Every structure is written in C-alpha cells, then in structure tokens.
Amino acid sequence: MAGTLYIVATPIGNLKDISLRAVEALRSCEAIACEDTRHSLILLNAYEIKKPLISLHKFNEKAAAQEIVGRVKAGQNIAYISDAGMPCISDPGLELVRTALEEGISYTVIPGPSAFLNALVLSGFDSSRFLFLGFLPQKKSERQRLLENVRDLPFTLIFYCPPHDIDKDIESIYSVLGERRFAAVKEITKIHERVIFGKLSEGISEEIRGEYVLICEGAGEVESPLNALTIEEHIEHYIKLGRSKMEAIKLVAKERSLPKNEVYKYTLQDREKE
C-alpha cells in the first residue's frame, strides 16, 4: 500500500509558529526531505524529531522528486519542508508536487506561515486585492518587462528582496511605477521585527540587513509628483534612470495622458534643433 507525501509549512522566524499538525506529520513520517538539511535540523532538534533526511533543493529537485515519489509509492510517508515558510512559494517544491501529480500518489499540504502574508498585514496596505511577485528577475530587460505588465494594476504589489538587491529593486520599481508609498518589512516574527515606511523615490536610508518583504501601493492610489515637472524634465528623469529616449517618451506620455508624438516634440534632441 502506497504512503502519503506531506508538503509542510514551517516557521519563518519564531520556531513556536509551527502547527501541531505539522509536528505530528514530521514525527510520524519515515523520512523528511529538506531544502537544506543543516538548516532544517535547527527546527527538528527543537522539537526532538529524529528522522532520516533527504536533500531536495533547486539544483537537484527533479532527481530528488523522483526518489521521494518512489519511496511514497513503496509505502513510506514522506514530508517535505523548505528552509522557512511554505514550500513552492519562492522556494523549491513545485517539481515535487508536479511529480506527485504525474505519478498519481497521495499528497497533501499542511498549512502554516508565509512571509508575504505576514508582511501585507503588518503594512496596513490594501489587502482586499494584492499581487505577489516574489523575487524580481536579475536580468534588467526581464525585470522591466515584468514591472511594466503590473504598472497599471490597482492591486497592492508584494516583492521579496534580498539585502544585496533591495536598493536596485526599489530603483527599478520606481523607474517604472513612479512615485508610490512602500512598506519594507524585515525580521518577521522575530524579536526585532520592523516595518519601514517610505516613498520609492527616497528608498531605504538605514543600513540594509537581512531579507525584506516590500509592499508597494497599487496604481491610482497616489498622485505622482513627476507630472509637476516640465515635460523636458520628466523625460530627462527617466533617461537618467537608464531608459532609452523612446522608452522615456512612452512612459511620460502614459503618465500625462498625452500622445507619444506630442511628447516627442519635447525631447532634448528636438529642442536643440529649434
């Protein structure tokens, strides 16, 4: 008789946030698959859970998923936990779930903490409709395309930002979305949990430490101050942020509800010719 695969959410900071059902599943299964076995041992040791561990991370997910599903088909109950929070949400696990579906084994999800939901509630921003975007792409063109696709959506936007990228991420978001309020949340559920409020144009002035969840207002919730600039200054603003002249013209035309050919007349090149 086949076993069951458990996808288990784990604490994002405070180890006491694990559910009773999660502890029960981890204690009863034959083995536990982990994103990082060293990291998971901190949680497992805290609850005196001693089981054989299987490594499943983004670099071996396909092969490890086949091994785990094979064990479940052979009758074992296996749990999978990522380093923190809900597996598959900006964490490995999706390939494992898809393999379980393809092979027709029994599987279930044991719910628990997720950093972006905690951050959204802590921010006080509109939570009736929101869009979780996870980590922004590293490639500039892909990052810009993604942000342009969500620029006009009236939903609260949620991003994950590692410390070495958050300044660049905020600058990228500002260059496409324009001025908006944000809340940067860090150390969620820990002693030094903090919410930093600000404007995208100003970024974060304090020392950057730890990973952040960035909550950003949706379109139409704030008035962009860029429209107070002259059209020439507005265009130059985006060019200084690395946009091409035509990209800057398109953005200015969109923000000012003007035809692109009308904005084009105000480019520095055309003004110099006059």
Query: Using CA atoms, how far apart are residues 191 and 211, in angstroms rounded to an integer?
Result: 15
Whole-number pLDDT of residue 256: 74
| Segment holding 27, helix H or strand E | helix 20-28
Q: State the residue for tokens 């952040």.
A: 212
Q: With 0.85 as the threshold, say if the pTM is over it.
A: no
Give per-residue pLDDT as tens, 72-105: 999 999 999 999 999 999 999 999 999 999 999 9
Query: Using CA atoms, how far apart are residues 152 and 60, in angstroms rounded to an integer?
Result: 38
pLDDT range class, residue 273, cuts 50, 70, 90: very low
Q: What is the mean pLDDT of the chain?
A: 91
| C-alpha torsion sign, points 242, 244, 247, 251 | positive
Higher pLDDT among residues 263 and 218, named by residue? 218
Kindly state the tokens that stand for 234. Answer: 């507005």
State yes or no: pLDDT of 38 exceeds 60: yes
Whole-number pLDDT of residue 221: 53
Whole-number pLDDT of residue 242: 82
pLDDT range class, residue 1, cuts 50, 70, 90: confident
Whole-number pLDDT of residue 272: 47
State yes or no: pLDDT of 269 exceeds 60: no
Count CB neighbours of 99 within 10 A. Answer: 22
Higher pLDDT among residues 252 and 99, named by residue? 99
The domains of the chain, with CATH numbers, are 4-113 (3.40.1010.10), 116-216 (3.30.950.10), 225-273 (no CATH)
Query: Using CA atoms, how far apart are residues 252 and 230, in angstroms rounded to an integer?
Result: 11
- Reported for 234-243, long-range contacts at CB under 8 A and 24+ positions apart, including other chains, are 235/263, 235/266, 235/267, 235/268, 236/268, 238/175, 241/171, 241/174, 241/175, 242/175, 243/175
Sequence-distant (6+) residues with CB within 8 A of 237 are 226, 229, 248
Q: How much of the chain, in percent, has pLDDT values that exceed 70?
A: 95
State yes or no: pLDDT of 274 exceeds 60: no
Whole-number pLDDT of residue 271: 47
State yes or no: pLDDT of 179 exceeds 50: yes
State yes or no: pLDDT of 116 exceeds 90: yes
Average of per-residue pLDDT across 104-121: 96
64, 35 contact by CB (below 8 A): no
113, 83 contact by CB (below 8 A): no
DSSP state of 15: G
65 φ, ψ to 5°? Answer: -60, -40
Whole-number pLDDT of residue 73: 97
Give per-residue pLDDT as tens, 156-176: 999 999 999 999 999 999 999
Query: Using CA atoms, how far apart are residues 270 and 257, in angstroms rounded to an integer?
Result: 21
Kindly state the tokens that stand for 204. Answer: 């974060």
Average of per-residue pLDDT across 46-59: 97
